[in-house]
Amino acid sequence: MQPIIQHYPYRLLAGFSFFGNPFHSNAGWTEENEIGRLWKRLLAFWALPNCPYPLPTISYEVHLQNHETPRTGEFEVFVGFEVQAFNSVPVELCVKILPEADYAIFTLRGEQIRSDEPIIDRWLASAGYQMAFSFFIQRYDQRFKGIDRLDESELDFLIAVRRTNSDDCT
């Protein structure tokens, strides 16, 4: 599978965040694990009568790893949507600024969604790129039909990348 490499300016996201092992109580791709609970919180926020944001057509799930993630299995998961400015984001929401970078964009379909890491790892090992930052993004739009319909769904998986021979130490 070959991704598209595309340059993106920085993006400002607002949403909810969790830190820990999101799978400690339930496996991946269920609404009962911590990631599913984050999405439920975000959907409930959008449903509030006084919500300042309309339901977006694109939403994001960002997984941010740190130096202890390989040992502990803990990392941050952020779910949210793009906003134009952070000064009007309500206090209930967290803000993330995704850095300007070249992103490898993989479109995953059906069963590929469940097994994303081996696909990405194989490409990184052979394509002359490495992750530029310790996070990856899942981008959801109308092609994603829901956890209960993964076989019919598509989503984009984005990784900020740089060439392996780059002198950049980011």
pLDDT tens profile 113-128: 776 667 788 899 899 9
CATH 3.90.230.10 fits 4-21+56-163, yes or no: no
* Residues 76-81, mean pLDDT to the nearest whole number: 97
- pLDDT for position 32: 64
Q: Is the pLDDT of residue 166 over 60?
A: no
- Dump pLDDT digits (tens) for 39-75: 999 999 999 999 999 999 999 999 999 999 989 888 9
- Report, in angstroms and rounded to the nearest whole number, the Rg of the chain calculated over CA atoms: 16
Whole-structure pTM value: 0.88
Q: Is the pLDDT of residue 80 over 70?
A: yes
In degrees to the nearest 10, what's the CA dihedral of 90, 38, 40, 43?
30
Q: Is the pLDDT of residue 78 over 80?
A: yes
Q: Which residues contact 143 (CB under 8 A, 6 or more apart)?
A: 153, 154, 155
- Dump pLDDT digits (tens) for 138-159: 999 999 998 788 888 999 999 9
Classified as helix, coil or strand, 111 is helix
- pLDDT for position 142: 96
Which residues on adjacent β-strands are paired with residue 158? 105, 137
Q: What's the CA gap between 144 and 159, in Å, rounded?
A: 19
Q: What's the CA gap between 152 and 162, in Å, rounded?
A: 32
Q: What's the CA gap between 73 and 47, in Å, rounded?
A: 32
Q: Is residue 35 a contact partner of residue 43, using CB atoms and an 8 Å limit? A: no
* Phi and psi at residue 64, to the nearest 5°: -115, 120
- Annotated domain spans of the chain: 4-21+56-163
For residue 33, the 8-state DSSP code is: S
